[in-house]
Structure 1
Amino acid sequence: MKFDLHTHHFRCGHADGNIRDYIEAGIQAGLQVIGISDHSPFLCSEEDQAFPQIYMAKSQLAEYVQEVLELKKEYEGRIDVLLGLETDYFPEYVELYRSTLAKYPFDYLIGSVHNIEGVSIFNKNRWKNLTKAQKVAVKEGYYELIAQSARSGMFQILGHIDAMKGNYPLFSEIAAVEAVDGTLKIIAECGVAIEINTSGKSKLVGGWYPSDAILERALHYGVEVTFGSDAHIPSRVGDEWELVRTRLREIGYTEWVYYKEKKKKTVPL
């Protein structure tokens, strides 16, 4: 069973192609299941599309859902198309997101932390002139938000849980083991899966999220895993799926999961 739960398309403003392009790419890649999970609208503003190069417009959400559901029917028997969404975790707006997204029949939601204190996690300039202690505090704050997102009960999957290393590879060397392990314990207790996300190759770090070291500790704490290419171009759908499966087996995993109608489906590795 080959699946990819993390794909985007033109509505988010920073991906190429339409939903059909990604489904067709999934078929070409030999997938049996593809999840469409574009960025949710930014609900924290009265504007319809506050950040047009990051999030879809509020007015596009219903049409996005409808298009995926129509394509699900069209491709039935060829590939299982799942309705997903990647949404940021903003603690102060969690109930707004919960109530808004509850109106739609999502198969799963991916919760991702993309901002800390109003600054993108991919902004490498944030690290300039910080002391060692300040860097540790930033990393601890990042993992506290991820832990909160797991506790929120909103998400089936947590996205790229060490993506802060994307444009700052030294992030992995910042000593905050207790924060990472504490977050992994909470994720396991909450029954939320983490994704192995292969899009890090597009950043300075040039690798997957999360690191092997985190995956080893995740296994120790009983955290379940899934796969997401985080494709922003159709050709990346299913990218490095076989390599990820092999690595997970080497680490000691025997299965991974995906979600349909918010119910977990377990797949042997």
Structure 2
Amino acid sequence: MIDYHLHLWSHGSKDKPVVLEELAAYCEHAAAQGVSEIAVTEHFYRFSQARSILSGYFRRYPESPMRDLMEQYWEQNATADLDQYVAVALEAKAAGLPVVMGLEVDYYPEAMHRVQAMLLGYPFDVLLGSVHWIETWPFDHIDDPVVMAEWERVGVEPAWAAYTRALEELAATHTVDVLAHPDLVKVAGHRPKVPQEYFDRMAEAAATAGVAAEVSSAGMRKPVREFYPAPGLLRRFLELEVPLTTASDAHGLGDVADRAPEIKELLVAHGVTTLRRFEGRVGTEVAL
């Protein structure tokens, strides 16, 4: 098993310098759950280098309280040093720790060429692609009642349609290697009447772009109380032979490799025998 989605800082916390001992502790905790390799994948927007190419990005949208909230959140988070993060991840690899170096990269319509150009300058092993907001609405901020109130204004069907379109566009940029928590839009428990229509599009986007999809336990810690992807979406990924990675999306040591045995049991039940691992952004198959 692998855990290819791990963060070093919790949501809302200040970043701090990455240290080798922290990565070693992640590896030890993962090994205790049967996970033999981890990927550190901090959010790209948490680094000052992201600010250098994306500062003011959300001003392209009409002025609104939601835009102000999103701008403030984004600017407050973009403070860590990507070079220091990379240096410690490389140090961990050189020390023999089972670590691959990655990032979680959000979708910025009309700006992904800038993101891609910057990230090509770093020796990443894997890049996860995510959609965490629709225009200026960070729909997965489940602890913010103002953000959650937007569900009623936007509507479930339009939200799923916009999310799916963004995921399709992200995959088509060929900026990332894995679609993280591919049906994240369900996080608060809101589902469309006919989700299979969206599942088909998500799976076809992954297959067409040649990217992998993530099977994550993170949804079990959210109101939706379900793995990502949903059973119907997982079946569609498998029908289209989309490679899979597995993940916890931990934001601290305690959730590293969360429910890894359950994920393995789920995949075995679906006949999955291999996972996709990455090195230098090149994927190869490893035994489940």
**Shorter-chain TM-score category?**
0.7 to 0.9
Equivalent AA in structure 1 for residue 131 of structure 2: V
Give the TM-score normalised by structure 1: 0.86
1:153-192 deviations in Å (ceiling 9; x for gaps): 111111111111112x132x43253333123112112110
Change (3 A) 1:205 1:6: same
Out of 80, 101, 105, the position equivalent to 2:119 is 101
1:160/1:195 contact within 8 Å kept = yes
2:244 is aligned, of 213, 225, 238, to 225
* Partners of 2:77 and 2:211 in 1: CA distance: 24
Structure 2: which amino acid aligns with 1:170? H
Paired amino acid for 1:135: V
Matched position secondary structure for 1:253: coil
Unaligned runs of 5+ in 2: 58-70, 141-146
Paired with 1:5 and 1:176, the residues of 2 have a C-alpha distance of 26
In structure 1, give the amino acid aligned to 2:149: N
Alignment-derived partner of residue 9 in structure 2: 10
Q: Deviations over 1:210-236 (max 9, x none)?
A: 111110111112221110110112121
Is the contact between residue 6 and residue 36 of structure 1 (CA under 8 Å) also seen in structure 2? yes
The 3-state SS of whatever aligns with 1:119 is coil
C-alpha displacement of 1:203:
1.5
Letter in 1 for 2:165: E
Query: Structure 2 matches for 1:226-241, cutoff 5 A?
Result: 226-241=245-260
Instruction: After superposition, give the CA deviation of every residue in 1:23-69 in whole Å (9 maximum; x if it has no partner).
Output: 3323443432111111113442169x964798442x51111111111
**Does residue 1:205 correspond to 2:224, yes or no?**
yes
Contact conserved, 1:107 with 1:262, CA < 8 A, in 2?
yes
Name 1:148's counterpart in structure 2.
169
Q: Distance in 1 between matches of 2:254 and 2:213?
A: 23
TM-score by length of 2: 0.81
Assess if the C-alpha contact under 8 Å between 1:136 and 1:176 holds in 2: no
Corresponding residue for residue 63 of structure 1 = 84
Q: Distance in 2 between matches of 1:12 and 1:125?
A: 20
Q: Percent identity between the aligned chains?
A: 28
Could you list the structure 1 runs, at least 4 aligned residues long, displaced by more than 6 angstroms after superposition: none
The answer for the alignment partner of 2:265 in structure 1 is 246
Distance 1:192 1:102 in 2: 17
Range that drifts further, 251-260 or 25-34: 25-34
CA distance in 2, matches of 1:117, 1:52: 13
Q: 1:257 to 1:136 in 2, by over 3 A?
A: same
Aligned equivalents of 2:4, 2:14: Cα separation in 1? 16
Q: CA distance change for structure 1 residues 238 and 204 in 2, over 3 Å: closer, same or farther?
A: same
Correspondent of 2:40 among 36, 43, 51: 36
Is the Cα contact below 8 Å between 2:182 and 2:202 reproduced in 1? no
Two-structure CA RMSD over aligned residues (Å): 2.5
- AA at the equivalent of 1:70: E
Give yes or no for contact 1:12–1:54 (8 Å, CA) kept in 2.
no
Q: Which runs of 5+ in 1 are unaligned?
A: none
